[in-house]
Amino acid sequence: MSKSDKTNAMRALEQRRIPYTTHTFSPDIHSADGVAAVLGVPASMVYKTLVVVRPYGRPILVMVAGDRELDLRLLARSLGEKSLEMATHRQAEALTGLLVGGISALALLNKAFDVFIDRPALELDQVLVSAGQRGINLRLRVTDLIKVTGARPVEASRGMGQ
């Protein structure tokens, strides 16, 4: 991959000498489940970055496994917030400057977001997250992802269908 093909997320990791592996797939795939199927990994390893808004204050980026569903009430309780809402598709893209399906905490370092990661990630060695562009995911160690993004572990999800 040439220097001009690299995303901001890749450059951020390289500046910090953090190892990662790049995985590419069709940019038409916008779901963590779809990415997991194409890459042949469990959906529990593919973390989607969701944009959540507070009634007041900074927006939130929360990383949740592809096989789990964000529970806004649980997240609000974990953060001591009265209420939270999922950003609409349009809001998420306006707030991040990235397309849904390509939103990444790694691509939004030093921006006005509070960053969280769902606690089940702590049980994994590595996860895949968006590189900040549809069709590219990065595999890296969970500890490195937390270190770079400053993500704080929270209770934010439940298993699908629970």
pLDDT tens track for 4-13: 579 999 999 9
What does the pLDDT average to over 132-157?
Answer: 96
- What pLDDT is recorded for position 158? 84
Could you read off the pLDDT of 71-85 as tens digits, one per residue?
999 999 999 999 999
Domain 23-159: give its CATH superfamily: YbaK/aminoacyl-tRNA synthetase-associated domain (3.90.960.10)
Answer for the pair 126, 141: CB distance below 8 angstroms, yes or no.
yes
Can you tell me the mean pLDDT for 59-74? 96
pTM: 0.93
Q: Please, are residues 159 and 67 in contact by the beta-carbon 8 Å criterion?
A: yes
Region 147-153 average pLDDT = 97
- Summarised one tens digit per residue, pLDDT across range 122-132 is 999 999 999 99
**Segments of the chain assigned E as strands:** 21-24, 46-53, 60-65, 68-70, 85-86, 114-118, 126-130, 136-141, 152-154, 157-159
